[in-house]
A and B are shown apart, each in its own frame.
Chain A
Amino acid sequence: MIALEYSNFVCLALLTVPISWMVPRSFAFDAVALWSAIVVLLLSPPTLIWLGLIAVCMPLLMQDSPDRGRGFMTGLICFFLIGGFIAARSLPTFAWLGGAFFTLRALHVTLDWWMGTLSPPTMRGSLRYFFFLPVIPAGPVNRLPHFSTQLRRRRWDLPTFATGFERFLLGAVFFFVISGYGMDRVIWLAGGPLGALPPFLEIWTLSALSWIDLFFAFVGSTHIAIGITLMIGLALEENFNKPWRARNLLDFWTRWHMTLTRWVQDYVYQPIFGLTRKPVIGLLLAMLVIGLWHAFSLYYVLWAFWQSLGIILSRLIKGRGPSGRLAFAVGPLGVLAWLSAARPVLDAIGVSQ
């Protein structure tokens, strides 16, 4: 197996660009899927088996399913998808590459098919969608209808290619230079002086620095993924919309990891709200799904409640806070303070994992 460093993945993912343009147009994305499968096999063989099962079985099960059995089939597929995800998280030997992302993609296809808003994917379409290397390890959680439309509309366009190259470079600088080198050293250097602070403030400050580090790592990896896909000629869904401009926590969660929050909004919040007519219950369950999506731990369960509390408070004080330029400055700092306060608060009650 190849070492699992992100730099290895980036080099292998970049090869999808020449493959997509050099192979004849009709087979370009079959070739990209084949290359993606080879890379996944090299990086994580269990991922190839599970992702291959998903990509092959879902179209077969959906196309052969009668309309009356659609609900049962949806339940069965969801059971295996969620069960497999839980099993992979619980059994390290079955650790997956990007399982958190492709499980959400597979659930999206299944649930949209059940609701009748999506036709069953063809085998070829499914393989092309699930084995698309640039988005496998770190998203975005792109959706099948948009992906299929992009494949149909694809054509060579130099400015789009150059834009993709620029985004790729920017993402690489964000990820490898600012996050991987700069922020690591900032956090390491800050460790000494921060040791003089009370433990609560020390953990809070380190947590805030970690959020800034996460911003550059995650935005960087998204720029890399979207940059490569633009060089291929596809424009996938954006994942971030200037999160540093968020005026409050609710605003932040509509700007941060947008493909995940839209997924949770469509498949968790709206159904729960439709059933109960209680937005707070929908919000709590939506944030719980986001928390558990990150890791199965008590820390992330309580983290979800902390985020929900922040969103409820930001709704309650909406319109009562500072306005104009002051809000422009205070809003993002307040959001960072709340996000990073989760760790010291939970640490204070003895939950750190």
Chain B
Amino acid sequence: MTPLERFYSGFLPDGLPTWLAMTLTYALAGLVLFYFAGISSDQIIYIDLQETQ
């Protein structure tokens, strides 16, 4: 069981499928990333190259 599955199985009312909620969450995360990751893709993480940049 994944963390998201565990979260939805304890949170969703009976009758609502967990897999649908999980799929929608993945899709939402994908959409958000598709939109924002392009804008912020120049983020630098490397500690030892940051100063050089």
Q: Could you tell me which A residues sit within 8 Å of B by CB distance?
A: 4-7, 9, 44, 88-89, 92, 95-101, 137-138, 159, 162-163, 166-167, 169-170, 172-173, 175-177, 179-181, 184, 217, 221, 294-295
What distance in Å separates the Cβ of A134 from its nearest Cβ neighbour in chain B?
A: 13
B47 A100 Cβ-Cβ under 8 A: yes
B45 lies within 8 A of A6 (CB): yes
Interface residues of B in 36-53 (CB under 8 A from A): 36-37, 39-49, 51-53
Assuming the contacts A92-B52, A95-B52, asked whether A180 and B36 have C-beta atoms less than 8 A apart, the reply is yes
Q: B3 near A: Cβ within 8 Å? A: yes
Given contacts A177-B33, A180-B39, contact A4 B48 (CB under 8 A): no
Residues of B within 8 A of A6 (CB): 41, 43-46
What chain B residues lie within 8 Å of A100 (beta carbons)?
47-48
* Cβ–Cβ < 8 Å partners of B40 in chain A: 176-177, 179-181, 184
9 shortest interchain CB distances as A-B pairs: A180-B40, A7-B41, A99-B48, A95-B52, A176-B37, A177-B36, A6-B45, A180-B43, A169-B29
29 residue pairs from A and B, CB less than 8 Å apart: A4-B44, A4-B46, A6-B44, A6-B46, A7-B42, A44-B49, A89-B48, A95-B52, A96-B48, A97-B49, A99-B47, A100-B47, A138-B46, A162-B2, A162-B5, A163-B2, A163-B3, A166-B2, A169-B29, A170-B29, A172-B33, A172-B37, A176-B37, A177-B33, A180-B39, A180-B43, A181-B36, A181-B39, A184-B40
